[in-house]
Copies of this chain bind each other. A is one copy, B any other.
Amino acid sequence: MGNTIEEKAYLAKQASVHLATVSTDLKNKALKAMAEELLNSKQQILDANQKDLEEAAKQKAAGTLSASLFDRLKLSDAKFNDMVCGVSDVAKLEDPVGKTLSTVVLDEGLTLYQISCPIGVIGVIFEARPDVVAQVMSLCLKSGNATIFKGGSEAKNSNRILFDTLIRALSKVPEIPTEAFHLAESREDVAKMLDMDNYIDLLIPRGSNDFVKYIQDNTRIPVLGHSSGICHAYVDEDADLVLAQKVCLDSKIQYPAACNAIETLLIHEKIADKFLPPMAEIYAQNGVELRLDDAAEKVMKKAGSRVSFTKASDKDWDSEYNDLILSIKIVSSADNAIHHINRHGSHHTDVILSQNQKTIGKFTGLVDSGNVMVNASSRFSDGFRYGKGAEVGISTNKIHSRGPVGMEGLMIYKYILSGSGQVVANYTGTGAKKYIHRRTDEKYCRLQ
């Protein structure tokens, strides 16, 4: 408890190899204990949260804490129950550890197994939302990863009691090394964590875009996340316009603050006259502020539309509004749309509306984004909707994991070569034995 962050990280690393080998049953037993202990301590946890809220209310009044941060800090009854259910649900997820990913017989009696295993130590740095502690600890436990949490100071009482409650639950299953989990509390610890590439294998930041960007820019540890979500919908000349209208509306208004809501609508010039004026009317009815390029403005004037809008500036194409604002641009081809998306987008989620399979093929092939939606809302880009059971984050990285990431993003693999005295000398030079390299479905079985 009184340990420095360096000591905590060292202990987490040591414990991580042991946590990696804990059986599924024991991990599930611990998850159940975690859910129970949270319920047993509900009142104390809500009291601690209340303390944080009182302090935060003062800061909010003084203008040093935003209303949205205040909301995220609050553990309502519903949020508390969701949190407990979330922990229980992780027990139901398949254990991702120890799966045989591939098996190759190199030679008779010499078999290579590729086995999934945890990454090691995950650093989680988050703002406000104290329920992150329970959510991430349950996912890391199930996937066998040690974890160091660093929450925002605004939630210090909530984080501390949640962490202590969960550790108390873990300690009821003696085979689980509780030293695998640590809570860092001082502000200086963040900078130290960003430097600990010898101990921390992966960082997961949870918070505002600026917060994630700061983490990404100040560490050599791999970061799982995304710092912006500039998503697009492109309405092709061969789109079903009724269908397109539905999807374009949902992609913008279903939850405009989300990273997977669209910020820019691209419309093919051939269907702009037919599509844009009624679409603009619908957006306006739903409170969406529109920012149009010159060509779109002409289309609206030509149609005699009375929907109000402003002119889009160059800055708009690179803006994430996270709000009921949408920029609209007319393009002369699918290629132009693709070029615009690859240049201005954040490679997160982009949508094509088209009934032309060739155009769809071009778009899905050339748009360099983690998620490409064909005739479906951008808002589907989400771990739960994708059926992952739980979402660790949405990644715009080009290595390891991309798009909505579930527990698979917390996994790596090791190779285990099982032999009976084979040496490389026999496979080289004159009279060398030959490798077979035969793939099989055989699973690796590790005695414990």
Interface residues of A (CB under 8 A from B): 16-18, 20-21, 104, 106, 110, 112, 119-120, 201-202, 216-217, 219-220, 222, 240, 243, 246-247, 249-250, 254-255, 338, 342, 357-358, 360-362, 364-377, 379-381, 385-387, 398-400, 402-404, 412-425, 427-428, 435, 437, 446-448
Whether A364 contacts B424 in the complex (CB less than 8 A), given A398-B202, A400-B399, comes out as no
Q: Contact check, B414 vs A369: say whether CB atoms are below 8 A apart.
A: yes
Complex contacts, A400 vs chain B, CB 8 Å? 399-400, 412
Residues of B within 8 A of A119 (CB): 398-399
**A385/B435 contact (C-beta < 8 A), A222-B399, A419-B374, A419-B375 known:** yes
Copies of this chain present in the complex amount to 2
B20 touches A423 (CB 8 A): no
Select one of B367, B402, B418 contacting A413, CB under 8 A. Answer: B402
A-B contact pairs, 18 of them (CB 8 A): A17-B338, A17-B367, A104-B386, A106-B387, A119-B398, A201-B398, A361-B447, A362-B448, A364-B414, A371-B415, A372-B415, A373-B419, A375-B421, A379-B423, A380-B419, A381-B415, A400-B412, A402-B413
Q: CA–CA, A300 to B76, complex, Å?
A: 70
A446:B364 contact, CB within 8 angstroms: yes
Give the distance in Å from the alpha carbon of A416 to the alpha carbon of B368 in the complex. Answer: 11
Known contacts: A254-B423, A386-B106. The answer to whether A364 contacts B416 by CB under 8 A is yes
Whose C-beta in chain B lies nearest to the C-beta of A422?
A: B376
Contacts of A377 in B (CB 8 A): 419, 422-424
Whether the Cβ atoms of B402 and A106 lie closer than 8 Å is no
